[in-house]
């Protein structure tokens, strides 16, 4: 059977990244103060299941302004949001982790022949806090000898949707409240996609943006910055998806350099009138999570590692999807899964008994007809 395909206004969406691209451009980055996309019932994300194809006819009607934990409004179908670490689901709702994106750090250093720069978490934190202001700072040169003689000042820019992630770089171990960014840094944050698009015009800059901005058509110019010992891995993605780690510490496996995952926020129980919508939502998000469509593995180390995430994450997602219920309290996911093995065995036994009963009746009928035939013969003779 061919893999499911998603369509939006007649255009095929081959991966969740295609759909997420619209989220980033239209919903998330343009409303980066909240990072929230809310889908309203008047422009509900509608789809029809046609054999193995999922067709999306509308991804419109988003409104922003509410945090992840704000209750779902009566007119809201569901909400997609990039949530703050540790933020709980709204009352009467369940949060389904969907995708994570990496913090991408790029440096524009004209004339430098090296293909990459190396830094550690402490060096990045020093750049963010303006403790390091020049490219030829001894701490940078110690990691990158090619920076000797690069006397220009470092211009640090942070994409608006990455401010919270960059703040995590400043967290001491076991700290749960990140400090605010310096005023100078906060004033420079801009849209991540726009930042990458004009990256060549920002000489001697160091920019922090998201992996997703890089995936969705932005210019891939400049030098990638390699942060030693904290590259994305299946283990770090798993802890990030399940929110097992908060702070950043070089000595342990944490979420850095990953952002908080995008969540789908769905009602955990529906009214009788919403039962059909509940089926649509669970089908959609089950497809989005398990449909076999991964982000392009060639885009970054994160995206290739995402495909190798432990099944513990998928099991947790299924558990959360399984908690979504109809108005009568029964699980929507269980109803879509069909009868379990016990039910299937019961059906098979019932079919066997029925067939046996029919065969027995046929045998009895044949015996009766044979005996009747014998009586007729005796009467004739």
Domain parsing of the chain, residue ranges: 5-98+262-336, 103-231, 341-381
In tens, the pLDDT along 88-109 reads 788 899 888 765 555 667 778 8
Distances (CA, A) of 212 to 242, 259, 281, 305: 20, 10, 24, 15
Closest by Cα among 266, 304, 310 to 288: 266
Structure-token match 């020093």, residue found: 126
Displacement of CA 164 from its chain's centroid (Å): 18
* DSSP codes joined into one string, 48-98: EEETTEEEE-----EE----TTSPPPTTEEEEEEEPPTTPPPPTTEEEEEE
251 touches 228 (CB < 8 A)? no
pLDDT of residue 146: 84
Rounded-to-integer distance, Cα 269 and Cα 282, Å: 12
300 touches 209 (CB < 8 A)? no
Q: Burial of 182 by CB count in 10 Å (0-12 exposed, 13-18 middle, 19+ buried)?
A: middle
Rounded-to-integer distance, Cα 21 and Cα 50, Å: 24
Per-residue pLDDT of the chain (381 residues; tens, 9 = 90+): 333 333 333 334 334 344 443 333 322 222 223 333 333 332 223 222 221 222 222 222 233 345 677 888 776 667 776 665 567 788 899 888 765 555 667 778 887 755 567 776 677 778 877 889 999 999 989 888 888 988 999 888 877 666 766 665 565 544 444 444 444 444 454 555 566 666 677 788 887 766 544 443 333 445 555 554 445 555 655 666 565 544 343 334 445 455 555 677 888 988 888 887 777 778 777 766 665 443 333 344 444 444 555 456 677 778 888 899 998 999 988 887 655 444 445 555 665 676 677 777 887 888 778 787 777 777 766
Cβ atoms within 10 Å, residue 87: 15
Rounded-to-integer distance, Cα 231 and Cα 253, Å: 10
265 touches 285 (CB < 8 A)? no
pLDDT of residue 22: 37
What is the pTM for the complete model shown? 0.50
Distances (CA, A) of 313 to 116, 304, 308: 32, 16, 11
Distances (CA, A) of 120 to 144, 156, 249, 252, 325: 11, 16, 11, 14, 46
CATH 3.40.190.10 correct for 103-231: yes
121 touches 248 (CB < 8 A)? yes
pLDDT of residue 138: 94
Beta strand pairing call for 11-13 and 155-158: unpaired
**Element (DSSP H or E) covering residue 224:** strand 223-227
* DSSP codes joined into one string, 235-248: HHHHHHHTT---S-
**Burial per residue of 340-376, b for 16 or more beta-carbon CB atoms within 10 angstroms, e otherwise:** eeeeeeeeeeeeeeeeeeeeeeeeeeeeeeeeeeeee
């Amino acid at each position: 059977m061919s893999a499911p395909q998603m369509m939006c206004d007649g255009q095929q969406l081959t991966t969740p990244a295609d759909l997420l691209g619209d989220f980033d451009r239209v919903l998330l980055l343009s409303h980066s103060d909240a990072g929230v996309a809310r889908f309203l019932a008047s422009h509900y994300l509608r789809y029809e299941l046609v054999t193995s194809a999922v067709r999306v006819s509308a991804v419109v009607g988003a409104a922003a302004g509410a945090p992840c934990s704000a209750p779902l409004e009566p007119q809201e179908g569901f909400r997609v949001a990039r949530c703050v670490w540790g933020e709980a689901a709204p009352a009467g709702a369940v949060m389904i982790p969907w995708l994570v994106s990496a913090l991408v750090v790029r440096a524009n250093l004209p004339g430098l022949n090296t293909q990459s720069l190396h830094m550690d978490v402490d060096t990045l934190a020093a750049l963010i806090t303006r403790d390091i202001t020049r490219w030829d700072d001894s701490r940078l040169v110690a990691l990158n000898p090619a920076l000797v003689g690069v006397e220009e000042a470092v211009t640090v820019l942070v994409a608006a949707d990455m401010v919270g992630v960059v703040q995590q770089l400043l967290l001491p171990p076991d700290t749960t409240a990140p400090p605010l960014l310096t005023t100078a840094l906060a004033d420079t944050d801009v849209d991540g996609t726009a930042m990458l698009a004009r990256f060549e015009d920002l000489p001697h800059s160091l920019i922090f943006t998201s992996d997703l901005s890089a995936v969705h058509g932005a210019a891939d110019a400049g030098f990638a910055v390699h942060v030693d010992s904290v590259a994305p891995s299946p283990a770090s993605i798993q802890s990030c998806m399940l929110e097992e780690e908060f702070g950043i510490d070089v000595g342990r496996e944490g979420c850095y350099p990953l952002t908080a995952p995008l969540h789908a926020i769905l009602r955990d129980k529906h009214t009788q009138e919403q039962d059909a919508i509940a089926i649509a939502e669970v089908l959609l998000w089950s497809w989005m999570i398990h449909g076999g469509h991964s982000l392009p593995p060639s885009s970054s180390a994160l995206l290739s590692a995402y495909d190798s995430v432990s099944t513990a994450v998928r099991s947790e997602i299924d558990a959360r999807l399984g908690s979504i219920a109809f108005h009568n309290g029964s699980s929507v996911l269980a109803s879509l899964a069909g009868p379990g093995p016990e039910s299937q065995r019961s059906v098979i036994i019932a079919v066997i008994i029925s067939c046996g009963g029919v065969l027995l009746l046929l045998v009895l009928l044949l015996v009766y007809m044979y005996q009747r035939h014998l009586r007729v013969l005796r009467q004739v003779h």
